[in-house]
Amino acid sequence: MSVPHAKLPAWAEYGLIPLVNLAVAFLISGLVVLIVGESPLEAAYHMINGAFGRGEYIGFTLYYTTTFIFTGLAVAVAFHCGLFNIGGEGQAYIGGIGVALACLAFDRTLPWYLVFPIAVVGAAFFGAIWAMIPGWLQAKRGSHIVITTIMFNFIAASLMNYLLNKVFKPLGSMSLETRTFEAGGQLPKLDWLMSIFGLSVGSAPFNISFLLALVAAFGVWVLIWRTRLGYEMRTMGHSPEAARYAGIKEAKIIVIAMMISGGLAGMMALNPIMGEQFRMQLDFVQGAGFVGIAVALMGRSHPAGIIPAALLFGMLYQGGAEISFEMPSISRDMIVIIQGLVILFAGALEHMFRPAITRIVLGLSPKARDVAATKGA
């Protein structure tokens, strides 16, 4: 095996390469800030301070992080099965219907801790069913998963528009949203968690769905690396031919993987609907499904990498708002450019520095050289 494609140690594969890509992305972002006549160091200060400077800012950062953990996990599960699920946006929309139905039905009669599990099941079920259709089309009809999931995003957006306008909108209201949920449909904030560190969550919508996201991350790790189903999914992702030879039912695994992926994407809706808005509004997803792709790529489709990657994008969202406020010459569009550069180097150009890093790492590590030589033999 040639050195550029040799297997790297875990610390280099999951730590060094993402850090190098991230550093280059921020370096180029600094040049963009410099071009518009502002100080990159000052922008970096405002971003970090805006994301972590106060308890309230941290609360907002972790609120965004929660959303991106769900969508990142959704993309990662599909990745492991060799599927590129770009439909997280639409699956989150449809998952929101499950959340809204649970809250509208029980928010006036049940406490939040009973409505919450019902909403979790509803979100996961609706998201899974929506993702099952492209999975079935891929498995049974050969329709490319990328094409079908993209189209289903548009269908989901149109369906959401119709339902909010014709079904869920209260009589006499002009806004495309449901009624505001009562106490049973509102998730409590994690004030007690922040208070452990002497911080106050303030007005930030940092809520209990964050803990659910961490549980989901652990569940995905167990599923992918500690179960037979996860082994079959990884086998399918690495080599469909080997999976078929081993007797793994390809169509079944594809459909199940997409349903799990869609269920995780659907659960993202819990955070904004029950944790912040207390109603279902149009466009509540706000691009989180697409950010999940970058989160999964940066996190190497591993929950241990997805959580810090989601935190990074949470920092970019919250810190970017602070930069726009403190430095008016850097518009929100400039923040989107910075986020795009991170996505570019974490995703599309992920292998740009791999050959050089591989040569350096294998040159410094005799053990790594031996492993590479063994695998290349």
DSSP string for residues in 71-106: HHHHHHHHHHTT-----HHHHHHHHHHHHHHHHHHH
Query: Which residue is it, tokens 């207390």?
Result: 278
Q: What angle do CA 234, 136, 280 make, to 5 degrees?
A: 95
Confidence band, pLDDT 50/70/90 cuts, at residue 232: very high
Q: Tokens for 11?
A: 């610390």
Closest CA to 134 of 118, 145, 126, 122: 145
Summarize the confidence of residues 138-162 as an average pLDDT. Answer: 95
78 against 1, higher pLDDT? 78
SS3 63: helix
pTM of the model: 0.91
Q: In whole numbers, what is the pLDDT of the chain averaged over residues? A: 90
* Residue 332: Cβ within 10 Å count: 11
Confidence band, pLDDT 50/70/90 cuts, at residue 9: confident
Of 127-136, 159-168, 274-283, 331-340, the one with minimum mean pLDDT is 331-340
Rounded Cα distance, 107 and 202, in Å: 24
pLDDT at 99 over 80: yes
pLDDT at 190 over 80: yes
In contact, 286 and 14? CB cutoff 8 Å: no
Query: Which residue is it, tokens 């850097």?
Result: 330
Q: Which residues 6+ apart lie within 8 Å of 356 measured at CB?
A: none
Q: Tokens for 299?
A: 């996190």
Confidence band, pLDDT 50/70/90 cuts, at residue 16: confident
93 against 26, higher pLDDT? 93
pLDDT at 3 over 50: no
Summarize the confidence of residues 134-159 as an average pLDDT. Answer: 95
Residue 63: per-residue pLDDT:
98
CA 138 to chain CA centroid, Å, is: 23
Burial of 122-156, coded b for 16+ CB within 10 Å and e otherwise, reads bbbbbbbbbbbbbbbbbbeeebebeebbeebbeeb
pLDDT at 37 over 70: yes
Residue 372: per-residue pLDDT:
52
Rounded Cα distance, 54 and 267, in Å: 28
Closest CA to 21 of 33, 8, 32, 12: 12
Q: Tokens for 150?
A: 């993209």
pLDDT at 375 over 90: no
Confidence band, pLDDT 50/70/90 cuts, at residue 1: very low
Summarize the confidence of residues 303-332 as an average pLDDT. Answer: 89
Query: Which residue is it, tokens 């500690």?
Result: 226
Closest CA to 159 of 129, 121, 181: 129
Say how many residues make up the chain: 377
Q: How far is CA 100 from CA 93, 113, 194, 205, in A?
A: 11, 15, 28, 18
In single-letter form, the type of residue at position 144 comes to H
Summarize the confidence of residues 87-100 as an average pLDDT. Answer: 97
Query: Which residue is it, tokens 């995905």?
Result: 220
Of 9-18, 80-89, 187-196, the one with minimum mean pLDDT is 9-18
pLDDT at 336 over 90: no
pLDDT at 2 over 50: no
Q: What percent of the chain has pLDDT over 90?
A: 71
Q: Tokens for 33?
A: 């800030």
Q: How far is CA 171 from CA 103, 162, 165, 277, in A?
A: 18, 15, 10, 19
Q: Which residues 6+ apart lie within 8 Å of 149 measured at CB?
A: 84, 85, 86, 87, 90, 131, 134
Confidence band, pLDDT 50/70/90 cuts, at residue 330: confident
Closest CA to 29 of 17, 18, 40, 45: 40
Residue 308: per-residue pLDDT:
93
338 against 35, higher pLDDT? 35
Hey, which residues does 281 pair with through a beta bridge?
177
In contact, 178 and 164? CB cutoff 8 Å: yes
Confidence band, pLDDT 50/70/90 cuts, at residue 237: very high
